[in-house]
Amino acid sequence: MDIAERIKADPAHWRLANAIRALSMDAVQAANSGHPGMPMGMADVATVLFRNHLKFDASSPHWFDRDRFVLSAGHGSMLIYSLLYLTGYEQMTIEQIRNFRQWGSITAGHPEYGHAEGVETTTGPLGQGIATSVGMAIAEEALRAQFGKDLCDHRTWVIAGDGCLMEGISQEAIGLAGMQKLGRLIVLWDHNDITIDGRVSLSDRTDQLKRFEASGWRTLSCDGHDPADIDRALADAASGKDDRPVLVACKTIIGYGAPNKSDSAGVHGSPLGAEEIEAARKALGWTAPAFTIPEDILADWRAIGARGGAARDAWNARVDAAPNRDEFARRISGEVSEKLAPAIAALKEQALTAKPKVATRKASEMVLEVINPELPETLGGSADLTGSNNTRTKDLGIFSPEDRKGRYIHYGIREHGMAAAMNGIWLHGGFRPYGGTFMCFTDYARGAMRLSALMGLPVTYVMTHDSIGLGEDGPTHQPVEHLAICRATPNTLMLRPCDLIETAEAWEIALSSASTPTVMALSRQNLPLLRAEAGENLTAKGAYILRESGKKEPSVILMASGSEVEIAIAARDALEAQGVPTRVVSVPSMELFRDQPETYRKKVLPKGAVRIAIEAGVRQPWDWLLLGERGKAKKAGFIGMTGFGASAPAPTLYKEFGIAPEAVIDEALRLLG
Amino acid sequence: MDIAERIKADPAHWRLANAIRALSMDAVQAANSGHPGMPMGMADVATVLFRNHLKFDASSPHWFDRDRFVLSAGHGSMLIYSLLYLTGYEQMTIEQIRNFRQWGSITAGHPEYGHAEGVETTTGPLGQGIATSVGMAIAEEALRAQFGKDLCDHRTWVIAGDGCLMEGISQEAIGLAGMQKLGRLIVLWDHNDITIDGRVSLSDRTDQLKRFEASGWRTLSCDGHDPADIDRALADAASGKDDRPVLVACKTIIGYGAPNKSDSAGVHGSPLGAEEIEAARKALGWTAPAFTIPEDILADWRAIGARGGAARDAWNARVDAAPNRDEFARRISGEVSEKLAPAIAALKEQALTAKPKVATRKASEMVLEVINPELPETLGGSADLTGSNNTRTKDLGIFSPEDRKGRYIHYGIREHGMAAAMNGIWLHGGFRPYGGTFMCFTDYARGAMRLSALMGLPVTYVMTHDSIGLGEDGPTHQPVEHLAICRATPNTLMLRPCDLIETAEAWEIALSSASTPTVMALSRQNLPLLRAEAGENLTAKGAYILRESGKKEPSVILMASGSEVEIAIAARDALEAQGVPTRVVSVPSMELFRDQPETYRKKVLPKGAVRIAIEAGVRQPWDWLLLGERGKAKKAGFIGMTGFGASAPAPTLYKEFGIAPEAVIDEALRLLG
């Protein structure tokens, strides 16, 4: 059927869908950049989804029990902006559509979480949306198990393209979702057979249905330009026929409606041009001026936007009547539990007495043993390193198809998928996720960790084995540059505690965060308790005087983090014994120290002393602390790594790489002249 | 069949295989760390492979036409070390086995390329081996097409575990290999159903055979402890029956032979303990002392190691007789082409005359247009951003199952898979691979890029759209911390050229590199030609005086890289006009500048001047240049990014984020007081 026949067969659908096409063409053309092909190709599927299936209320974007809609193929952002405008999201005015991709608008080139209401997650880096949606679906299952179907009962819908499905992260997402039987997760695959370089067959010949089935998904197909066929497929997908997640292959034509450019890579990422837009308008029978939606069509779309009002009212009434409504409200608000601070304080006091010598990964477990029973919102996990990351505590239970109340997730060997799922869990609401792997494998999770930071999601990465202290596993498993990487990333809180008390404080900070992810770098090896008092959360200052010099004005200031603080203290004691006044500054977080008032920073790091930093990583992030931001520093030295690690027992490595008290003492004496 | 019956049925096999088991148990026990489960589980498969199928000659580890053997499940390193010792690789003495995981030994915890001969690639980070092997198989096909089967005719064998197959990168590898019909790639899946956290079903229920088939693989299965069945499967896999890559599911029991610990997660990553080793020896009928292989068994293994000698002699004879043997020798040596320097010099001269204003990504294409016809060893590609990365030049042809002489690879939307494949292409030999994506998506490729650096492979990453200059696509696509990330990574050369001449010089450096990967950061936006002379390769100095101050002693030194050098020059001209002597230092590479003699560095950055760095990224990597490594600097300022970017046209972003000549001038005047 050609497009004219299709329109004739179901005009009620096509006027709605073509409104998306028109807005998408116009906005991309006005911006002189953007991606018209995908919104035009998926306009029909999206129209049927919003018209007949998606549970939402445009007047209440934050209604908790709404279905989540994730545009994993984020370059097609005009699809979602069109839908938000058409269905009547208040923020999404026609002015915003006109200002697509312009400074200050909420209509960024790719959908950005926190810009426009209705955008559930930031997408654009391919595969992130589908992997994030797995977390949303996990959270929905878990919260439903805890609070019941009356309060939590919705689906997660995803639109994903070939790019999303080619990215490796998609396999991690598909495998996890299939294993977890996330039956309310529905992925609509924009099967248009085009990538930027040309036909998909240039780079892939995967039978996607077979691939999804292999990982336990149910698969359906439809003609993505036949509204009745789409409706049939979506209804089937949403039927809850069984507990498998569902892939719907929607056979589409990219840029559908653009008579000369559709079905080609050329329509993917460039404006159509005035001439082709004119031809498309003709083909679509669209006569309204640019950025103008005829009133009757807009009215129909607005009615779709209001469709969910009754369901929302009913949900509100059920929440009001629920006995546990206050706890539910607290949980979905994301606010910090009042039980956190006292639990941390008590643990710190105990630590001061017991003085345990434990690895900070073990210290982290000791904190979690105290926290998890008090905070039902924690949802832990590990990428198949549970025993090494010490992330699982007693009585958490295992989240699985058989036990949705379990609060520990075996993410499998899927660091990237885990990070994205954690983003989705927080975005959904109701939980504070944390998940572990080795610090070195932040490499595998970087794509999603950056989105945690960009979106401002307070998820916690429990990254253990944070240096050459990992020992025999060798350089592939030993982070060297990774502390620098996390510190270089905006809105990322890197915490590297030196003992149990700092670890407890680090967890207090992480679980109190509102809009910043935390990366906790934890040691494999045992570390002594170094703190002598447990009152104030000193870790929150980022850096503080842990050992004062014998004389009030130190000649030497030793700065260190994590497992190297112990070395700094040993060097300090030796220097003091030689009559060199030496201060030790513990630096669990550079970010938090940078945020302190200048008076405090000057007090901790006064002028005039030799400064030496000690950390089993590269020097790059230390320079500003060593040298002062404006170049006011005195002599400075660094004891750390300049290359990759090696395979040997940890004590040997510290000795061979010269990260030891003796090296610190030598450097201090050398710099003092 | 229990193990005793199996041994009885084929003692000739089992004494060979049990030698691997014994060495693996003993070495892990002596090191008191390591992974005995995998070598014990895969000993039978590996024995049959080395005994009957793998083309190799232990006396000549670098014989070019050998089959490549990749242990993707790198934690099972004792499997390969055992095999290398048993078959008689000279370096792999029993002392090395005894020193497993110790400082200075070649028997690192995970197999490290460049340590022990016979280790074809570094593995350990899961999934890297299988993805790297795809590159090896590509290189084999491509080199065979260029030089014929007489000179290049071998297979790539991979052992991969469940961990490898769960990692996302495996899907990128599988998809690429299936599409490319790499029929000489054979993956032996150690299907033991155990991960660190427990049964695979805790985190995955994927039907792997179906998954591989979906991407165009042929699949076979065998009983991984039945030598005859293994032999049948490997023979079938190697038969070249059709052109699909082959997965062989080898059903194994992890830790096979350890009567109490096999088939459990406990045997994966810990020594068995003296008692269990004793029990295993008994079960295996192994009576020799620890680290001792009975002479007759060792003799049989050594015969296996010598099995390929005749094939190697025949190959040598064919090479000697080949008319193109000199070019073949040059190609597989990896040495730098003599044609490179003149081609670059000519282009630089032309640039000086033509003064083109082009984006450095376009400049890169102009270089490649000159280089690719001269250097048949280049093998280009892009992760589906060909038109944006400007990586494809005329007449390269497309590498595909139909055209193995094509020198351009459509890697698909697979940044991680591309990076790993490039590692494999270099490791195989015969080619210098380069591949492109957006700079921001180094995030997706980090795992493999780190291995390029760790292994010392001179591959070239063509990373375009290297700042907010990318514009409207917004913060998900705008690198901010990525320059810092690459600079923090050891043995990684970050080159950010400012114009066509620097870009040509950058390519000269990259294509001359022997053991360091290059990350080239290239602009989306047009940049003027800034260099006034084209003689010496100044980029190779890392930083150099691009514009001298009017007076010989500058009051202000402006440092910048890439697209911000233009801004520095505009600011310098304005400052000079105001009577402020201002020098501009172009900094295409911090790594190369760090390697310069101190006298040169002091000449470029003398004491006493105010220093300002300008780069559309975070400040972290600039501090040492701003402040001096030992704290000798004067006042310093930075004009760059402190957070994520935004979606808007590039000129707007530069203005709004304050990266502009005016801001530089203000900062200079402020610092001068």
Residues B41 and B182 in one domain: yes
Q: Say whether B488 and A484 touch across the interface (CB within 8 A).
A: yes
Give the Cα separation of B472 and A273 in Å (integer).
Answer: 18
- Chain centre to alpha carbon of residue A72: 14
CA distance A370 to chain B (A): 23
Residues B256, B271: Cα–Cα separation, whole Å: 14
In chain B, residues with a C-beta closer than 8 Å to the C-beta of A104 are 648
A107 & A176 share domain:
yes
Distance CA B34, CA B39 (A): 11
Q: How many other C-beta atoms can be found within 10 angstroms of the C-beta atom of residue B303?
A: 12
Measured between CA atoms, the residue of chain A closest to residue B643 is A490
Confidence of residue A607 (pLDDT cuts 50, 70, 90): confident
Token pair, residue A456, equals 């401002």
Chain B residues with beta carbon closer than 8 angstroms to that of A630: 635-637
pLDDT at residue B491 is higher than 60: yes
Contacts of A391 in chain B (CB under 8 A): none
Distance (Å) from the alpha carbon of B226 to chain A's nearest alpha carbon: 27
| A583: helix, strand or coil | strand
Tell if the CB–CB gap between A474 and B643 is shorter than 8 Å: no
Is the backbone of residue B123 left (phi > 0), alpha (psi -120 to 50) or beta? beta
**Which pLDDT does position B663 carry in this prediction?**
98
- A170 and B171 within 8 Å at the Cβ level: the answer is yes
DSSP-derived letter for residue B398 is B
Residue A533: inside a domain: no
Measured CA to CA, the distance from residue B384 to residue B386 in angstroms comes to 6
Judged by CB atoms closer than 8 Å, whether chains meet at A620 and B487 is answered as yes
User: Annotated binding site of B, which residues?
Assistant: 35, 75, 124-126, 162-163, 192, 194, 268, 361, 388, 441, 465, 473, 477, 524
Confidence check: pLDDT of B124 > 80: yes
| A-chain residue closest to B201, CA distance | A179
pLDDT of A627 reads 82
pLDDT digits (tens, 9 = 90+) for B287-346: 999 999 999 999 999 999 999 999 999 999 999 999 999 999 999 999 999 999 999 999
Q: Kindly list the residues from chain A whose CB atom is less than 8 angstroms away from the CB atom of residue B414.
A: 166-168, 203
Are residue A448 and residue A523 in the same domain, yes or no?
Answer: yes
Strands B378-382 vs B408-410: parallel, antiparallel or unpaired: parallel
| Rounded to 5°, angle at Cα A245 from A244 and A246 | 110
Residue A634, pLDDT above cutoff 70: no
Which residues in chain A touch residue B611, judged by CB atoms under 8 angstroms apart? 631
* Alpha-carbon gap: A165 to the closest alpha carbon of chain B (Å): 9
In the numeric block, which tokens belong to residue B106? 């070649």
Question: What mean pLDDT do residues A338-347 have?
Answer: 98
On the question of pLDDT at A124 being above 90, the answer is yes
pLDDT band at B1 (very low <50, low <70, confident <90, very high): confident
- Compare CB distances from A103 to B444, B618, B646 and report the shortest one's residue: B646
Contact (CB<8Å) A472/B109: yes
User: Per-residue pLDDT tens for B446-479?
Assistant: 999 999 999 999 999 999 999 999 999 999 999 9
Beta-ladder partners of B181: none
Contact indicator for A419, A392 with CB cutoff of 8 Å: no
For residue B633, pLDDT beyond 80 = no
- Neighboring chain B residues of A201 at a CB cutoff of 8 Å: 179
Residue A328 lies in a domain: no
> How many helices and strands in chain A, by DSSP H and E?
27, 20
- Residue A630 — very low, low, confident or very high, per pLDDT cuts 50/70/90? low
Residue B366 belongs to domain with CATH number: 3.40.50.970
Q: What is residue A110's three-state secondary structure?
A: coil
Question: Rounded CA gap, B560 and B526, in Å?
Answer: 16
B558 vs chain A: nearest CA distance in angstroms?
15
Q: Which of B34, B453, B618 sits opposite A472 (nearest CB)?
A: B34
How large is the average pLDDT for residues A425-447?
A: 98
- Between strands A636-639 and A610-614, the pairing is parallel
A contacts of B490 (beta carbons < 8 Å): 480-481, 618, 641-644
Residue A98 and residue A34 share a domain: yes
> Average pLDDT for residues B547-564, to the nearest whole number?
94
**With bands split at pLDDT 50, 70 and 90, how would you rate the model's confidence at B57?**
very high
Q: How far apart are CA A371 and CA A364, in angstroms?
A: 10
Alpha carbon separation from B104 to A474, B107, B156, B286, B638 (Å, rounded): 12, 9, 29, 30, 43
**Minimal-distance CA residue of chain B relative to A652:** B103
Q: Confirm whether A326 is domain-assigned.
A: no
CB contact (8 A) between residue A176 and residue B203: yes
Close Cβ partners of A314 (under 8 Å, ≥ 6 residues apart): none
**Which one-letter DSSP state was computed for residue A289?**
P
For residue A56, give its domain range.
Answer: 3-313
- Tokens, residue B246: 């082959």
Among the partner-chain residues B208, B473, B489, the one whose CB lies closest to the CB of A110 is B473
What does the pLDDT read at residue B632? 53
B7 vs B449: CA distance, rounded Å: 44
Cβ <8 Å between A491 and B644: yes
Binary contact (B213, A215; C-beta < 8 A): no
Structure tokens at B2: 């229990």
Do A233 and A198 fall into the same domain?
yes
Is there a contact between B625 and B587 (Cβ–Cβ < 8 Å)?
yes
pLDDT at residue number B651: 98
Choosing from A528, A554, A584, the residue where a domain stops is A528
Task: Specify whether A285 is located in the same domain as A360.
Answer: no
- Provide the pLDDT confidence category of residue B398 given band limits of 50, 70 and 90: very high
One domain for residues B482 and B444: yes
Cβ pairs A/B, distance under 8 A: 378
Say which residue the tokens 């490179």 belong to. Answer: B340
Q: What percent of chain A has pLDDT over 70?
A: 99
As a whole number, the mean pLDDT across chain A is 97
Out of A410, A618, A628, the one facing B202 most closely (by C-beta) is A410
What pLDDT, on a 0 to 100 scale, did the predictor assign at position B607? Answer: 85
Compare all CA atoms of chain A with the CA of B412 and give the residue at the minimum distance.
A203
Of A141, A415, A508, A566, catalytic: A415
Q: CA B131, CA B448: separation in Å to the nearest integer?
A: 9
Distance from the Cα of B116 to chain A's closest Cα (Å) equals 13
CB-CB under 8 Å, B631 with A195: no
Q: Name the residue among B1, B535, B489, B42 with its Cα closest to residue B250.
A: B42
Residues B116 and B235 in one domain: yes
Among residues B415, B502, B508, B667, the one annotated as catalytic is B415
B453 chain-A contacts, CB cut-off 8 A: 644
Phi/psi of residue A13, nearest 5 degrees? -75, -45
pLDDT at A311 over 90: yes
Chain B residues in contact with A412 (beta carbon < 8 A)? 166, 195, 202-204
Assess if residue B327 is contained within a domain: no
CA nearest neighbour of B395 among B410, B406, B382: B406
Q: Among B313, B347, B373, which residue terminates a domain?
A: B313
Under an 8 A CB cutoff, do A102 and B648 touch? yes
**How many structural domains does chain B have?**
3
Give the model's pLDDT for residue B630: 53
pLDDT in tens, B220-267: 999 999 999 999 999 999 999 999 999 999 999 999 999 999 999 999
Q: Are B39 and B21 in contact (CB under 8 A)?
A: yes
Instruction: Over range A580-585, report the average pLDDT.
Output: 98
Distance from CA of A108 to the nearest CA of B (A): 5
Q: Which residue out of B476, B556, B642 would a mutagenesis test of the A interface target, given it has the greatest number of A Cβ atoms within 10 Å? A: B476
Q: Is A50 annotated as a binding residue?
A: no
Q: Is the dihedral of CA B175, B176, B180, B182 positive or negative?
A: negative
Between B75 and A627, whose confidence is greater? B75
A493 domain-assigned = yes
Report yes or no on B321 lying in a domain.
no
| Candidate from B124-133, B280-289, B622-631 with smallest mean pLDDT | B622-631
- Residue B152 sits in the same domain as residue B296: yes
Concerning whether B481 is annotated as a catalytic residue, the answer is no
First to last CA, chain B: 87
Which chain A residues touch B481 with a CB distance below 8 Å?
A: 485, 488-490
3-class SS at B526?
strand
- Verify whether the Cβ–Cβ distance B476 to A162 is below 8 Å: no
- pLDDT by residue (tens digit) across B83-120? 999 999 999 999 999 999 999 999 999 999 999 999 99
Whether residue A512 lies inside any domain: the answer is yes
Report d(CA A628, CA A631) in Å as an integer: 5
Same-domain status, A469 and A572: no
Residue A13: the pLDDT is 98
The pLDDT assigned to A632 comes to 53
CB contact under 8 A, A649 and B102: yes
Average pLDDT over residues B390-415: 98
Asked, for residue B584, whether it belongs to a domain, the answer is yes
Annotation: binding site of B for Mg(2+) = 162, 192, 194
Same domain, B469 and B570: no
Q: What is the reported pLDDT for A250?
A: 98
Task: Please tell me which of the candidates B167, B481, B627 has its beta carbon nearest to residue A488.
Answer: B481
Q: Hey, are the CB atoms on B125 and A443 less than 8 Å from each other?
A: yes
Give the model confidence (pLDDT) of A382-405 as tens digits.
Answer: 999 999 999 999 999 999 999 999
A441 annotated binding-site participant: yes
Q: A607 or A38: which carries more pLDDT confidence?
A: A38
Please tell me whether residues A117 and A233 are part of one structural domain: yes
- Residue A629: pLDDT band by 50, 70, 90 thresholds? low
Q: Of B175, B181, B187, give the one whose Cα is nearest residue B221.
A: B187
Amino acid identity for residue B281 in this structure = R
Q: Residue B546: which CATH number? A: 3.40.50.920
Nearest CA among B38, B36, B43, B35 for reference residue B6: B43
Of B492 and B633, more confident? B492
- Inter-residue contact A465 to A524 (CB < 8 Å): yes
- Pick the closest to residue A459 from A467, A468, A450, A470 (CA basis): A450
pLDDT tens column, A535-578? 999 999 999 999 999 887 899 999 999 999 999 999 999 999 99
Angstrom distances, CA of residue B398 to CA of A164, A264, A614, B379, B413 = 24, 19, 51, 10, 16
